[in-house]
Chain A
């Protein structure tokens, strides 16, 4: 068995973290101002001081499988107060990026999602899938992709059949869940081992029911953005994050309602504007656009904190989803048939990006952070 005290610094890991936006990590001189400044750091073994030295020593094992890195909401208090400009918040952000990639399978896809050069490919993938599948079905006589939809009313499913959409997105949602399941299995094991090694818990094993109960306790915290609003430096970000968060939640409900009405009630869209679900959809869509715009503005104005490709990619996709969604609806109501069908197609491409690459993009934090927060609640970390 490997000696648990033996440290073997991984210089390559340091280089990678530096490349992911943690280029300042070596500046840390361990004064622990960050741990004192952090409003949400635990009282015992607080972060991010110990994470900073682990990073500067290239101790990958101590970081990637460490639940603490997910407790950080990157408010930037530590970065603002760091006397050496080591930007602990950004370093933790970089470590999280690394961790997402680490736990995702397949690795090549993870690399692709996070590589700016591959961005066109990411967009071409859904386009190719949509067209190839649609044309193939057409060839065998199933006309779910119709380039010349007819009828007075603009109905998007006449162009791109809802069944075609679901034929693509239902299997991919299963794949997303599967990838997360695989990743989480390793993730949970690692964070538990790390917690035991560092003495952050006295629980020997993770027991299912207790964990679920902990999840129940954590969910209100997440819904209220309680941790987020404890942060001082970037208070405004809690608002925009909340807008985006709740709009996704709203759109999730909307999607499920329409799924239900389509397959159970056999009622096809488009649905009337006075329908309550439609209201929710519209409000969510607007909130999504405004929220993501606020986030972009916030990132542009924060020159002292690093924004990496991963941040911009996700914001771009989120804004893209919101904008194309709203525009699809608006052009439909505006009776601009051709434009509306085109924008709908683009919208589907964006949704594909957001959804299918979820386990590889920064958005994966919604799973890892939730699990980490739940674990910490379960493990009784003080």
Chain B
């Protein structure tokens, strides 16, 4: 496309009062770009002015006004390249003239001093202009074959609900269930927790009604006794091989080589060829991940509702509670099974169990933690099962010993109503022992609300053990992805299948696969049904985005995708390995094979690539690199005391909004920084930092999301990877005789706008202490 430029400077919102608009216009003029100013660019007259130019052929626009995060639709001009230069929040609001006075006429005449704010605005305008020069209009990635069918893995309450929701929205759904019957645990209960107002009484299981409803939908296919052998391909075009449980077939997914097999006896890593050889041997009889099953079924998206299994205590794990030793100590699941069959009795002799103790926390140890994988659901189940005892025996007694009684939301009503039962007794406490006492047992509890030590007699003891997600035992999804068949374990979720619990529920670390129900965290049936709806909607969103060739989430609608210049690829596999979403496979040589509709467009591959051969149409090594180079770096040749120049690469998801809010609140920070928004810190390629330093900039900082246990990165690993890369850059700096401290990374949350100015100012001060970059002026 022939680029016809147009630069538009808005003088409203205080921009015109603060800046020398004439001088700013001259900057564009020098580039030979036509410039227009308007005092109200987002108003009708201003927009008409822009539209008229577009009608006359202008197609490459630089709008120097407010932040790109506001007036998004107002300044959306389809078919045009656009850069929004942030003069309002980024320059004049965050650098008020009260703190950064403008030059007087005499000072301007003398030319010895400089106006930091004006310099900043001019640099940003230059950076905007150079960027639009470097980018191209993206075209969507269209799949050759596209399936709108949805696969639901798991036929429990969640899977059934998700299937119904998706079917109602008009999509064809297939449910696969490994058991001979659908219904899951929901079909194995005596009663279930309430799902409706007033949330006070137990209700008969609702699963049968759900199954009936399912059967009314002709666009739902149910396959029982079936599991997924492999899922190959990408969203919109998954090829799924199904099989009977325990069957071994050619299209079982190959497993990556276990870590210990990648090393020789001395613990040294084997070379690539040897590893490849072992890998093939390890997966003998299985087709490579890139081989597509010709008989596979096509699906567009997958809902993972594989649920949970009861926690199985290890031998001797709860010895002090008598588990495994006393026959009348059972888990809550065993108790439920018994209760579903009839009256509650003692397994040892079949006699009535009129006094039942529910132990919700293992106790004994120093901490007050509950059983593994226990949660609010196990608290509620404890309450529910206590009620069974009361239903079965008029003189029945149920004791609940808990460390945490968790009844969130309206389930508090259920707790309250159970509390009213005169035969249910609850106390917080640490269960110390369960011992035999004649035919019954004695439960001893310490630190209770009733005193330091109490004992009660029990006929039956029920342990409130947890719900283990199916993904702990088995990948379930069996993805034919180079990163492996399961979701990447980032060591934070105990095997639960999730990405970010708060920001991105349902979205797993694999695009196109949406998790719901007990696989995500332990949930009640009510929660599972809600969750199923969420996952179904996400799956539909995925289909409708993949269909149009745009990104699903979190960059919904982004039309770009990473483009590889394969001729220069060295097969280092960094992109394949570092992609947080497993979007890249590779062939036997290690050449990456992109799957654009798996991709979330974070650019982590672009940041990783040492050859810099990965880029997006509107975001690439050159476009950002050129922006860096467009920053003016004054030296002693220009002024006696030239200002510092500090580059900030700012994550556009949380950090950049925080800066905008800082501007909105007129919180000022150093005017010597130049900020460039990036898709994710994971996309930051170290070459940009080297470029900045080699052209004389005094420091570079990265501002992005928190990482670690409480990570907030939209792309899971971006900020963490950036941190690793920044640590490695230290050596390179040392070889240039530059201090390591010149490059650093800060973590910030979106609501910490009040902290951002201080972070920036302190960094600039620390750079000032180091003194100017010795390369300045070369």
Contact = CB atoms under 8 A, between A and B. Distances in A.
Interface of A: 3, 5-9, 11, 14-15, 18, 26-27, 29-30, 50, 53-54, 56-59, 84, 198
B418 to A, nearest CB: 10
B455 A5 contact: yes
Contacts of B451: 5, 198
Interface stretch (B345-353, B419-427, B497-505): B419-427
Given A5-B454, A8-B456, A57-B427, 11 more contacts: A5-B451, A5-B455, A6-B455, A6-B457, A11-B422, A15-B422, A18-B422, A26-B421, A27-B420, A29-B419, A57-B425
A27 B397 CA distance: 18
A3 B453 CA distance: 11
Given A27-B416, A53-B427, A57-B450, A7 B422 contact: no
28 contacts: A3-B455, A5-B444, A5-B451, A6-B454, A6-B455, A6-B457, A7-B454, A7-B455, A8-B456, A9-B397, A11-B397, A11-B423, A18-B422, A26-B419, A26-B421, A27-B419, A27-B420, A30-B428, A30-B449, A53-B449, A53-B450, A57-B425, A57-B427, A57-B450, A58-B422, A58-B425, A59-B450, A84-B416
Nearest to B453: A5
Contacts of A9: 397, 425
Contact of B425 (A3, A15, A18, A56): A56
Interface in B422-446: 422-423, 425, 427-428, 442, 444
A370 to B, nearest CB: 29
Contacts of B419: 26-27, 29, 56
Contacts of B423: 11
A7 B450 contact: yes
A110 B457 CA distance: 33
A18 B422 CA distance: 10
Contacts of B395: 11
| 7 nearest CB pairs, A to B | A14-B422, A6-B455, A5-B455, A26-B420, A57-B425, A5-B453, A30-B449
B368 to A, nearest CB: 16
Contacts of A59: 450
A7 B456 contact: yes
Contacts of B453: 5
Contacts of A6: 442, 454-457
B389 to A, nearest CB: 13
A26 B422 contact: yes
Contacts of B421: 26
A17 to B, nearest CB: 10
Interface string B632-675: 00000000000000000000000000000000000000000000
Nearest to A24: B420
Contacts of A57: 425, 427, 450
A53 B428 CA distance: 11
Nearest to A18: B422
A5 B453 CA distance: 6
B455 A54 contact: no
A297 B31 CA distance: 92
Nearest to B421: A26
Nearest to A32: B449
Contacts of A14: 422
A128 B425 CA distance: 49
Which of B395, B427, B451: most chain A Cβ within 10 A?
B451
Contacts of A3: 455
A266 B686 CA distance: 118
Contacts of A198: 451
A57 B444 CA distance: 16
Contacts of A8: 456-457
Nearest to B450: A53
B405 to A, nearest CB: 8
Contacts of B456: 6-8
A84 B412 CA distance: 12
Interface string B552-577: 00000000000000000000000000
Contacts of A5: 444, 451, 453-455
Nearest to B427: A53
Nearest to A28: B419
Contacts of A7: 450, 454-456
A143 to B, nearest CB: 59
B430 to A, nearest CB: 14
Contacts of A26: 419-422
Nearest to B444: A5
A30 B419 CA distance: 12
A222 B395 CA distance: 44
Nearest to B423: A11
Contacts of A27: 416, 419-420
Contacts of B457: 6, 8
A54 B450 contact: yes
A5 B421 CA distance: 24
A180 to B, nearest CB: 32
A270 B102 CA distance: 107
Nearest to A57: B425
Contacts of B428: 30
Chain A CB within 10 Å, residue with most, of B421, B422, B427, B457 = B422
Nearest to B448: A53
Nearest to A29: B419
A6 B450 CA distance: 11
Nearest to B424: A26
A342 B425 CA distance: 56
Contacts of B444: 5
B448 to A, nearest CB: 9
A50 B423 CA distance: 19
A296 to B, nearest CB: 31
A238 to B, nearest CB: 32
A31 to B, nearest CB: 11
A124 B454 CA distance: 49
Contacts of A56: 419, 425
B363 to A, nearest CB: 16
A60 B120 CA distance: 79
A76 to B, nearest CB: 22
A84 B417 CA distance: 12
B53 to A, nearest CB: 65
B728 to A, nearest CB: 53
A59 B453 CA distance: 15
A154 B188 CA distance: 86
B600 to A, nearest CB: 45
Interface string B452-475: 011111000000000000000000
A309 B423 CA distance: 26
A3 B443 CA distance: 13
Nearest to B456: A7
A78 to B, nearest CB: 17
B19 to A, nearest CB: 58
A145 to B, nearest CB: 52
A15 B420 CA distance: 11
Most buried by B among A15, A26, A54: A26
B306 to A, nearest CB: 36
A6 B420 CA distance: 23
Nearest to A198: B451
Contacts of B397: 9, 11
A7 B449 CA distance: 13
Which residue among A6, A18, A59 has the maximum number of chain B CB atoms within 10 Å of its CB? A6
Nearest to B395: A11
A58 B444 CA distance: 18
Contacts of B442: 6
Interface string B509-543: 00000000000000000000000000000000000
Most buried by A among B416, B425, B455, B456: B425
A167 B425 CA distance: 53
A50 B397 CA distance: 21
B62 to A, nearest CB: 60
Interface string B335-363: 00000000000000000000000000000
Contacts of B450: 7, 50, 53-54, 57, 59
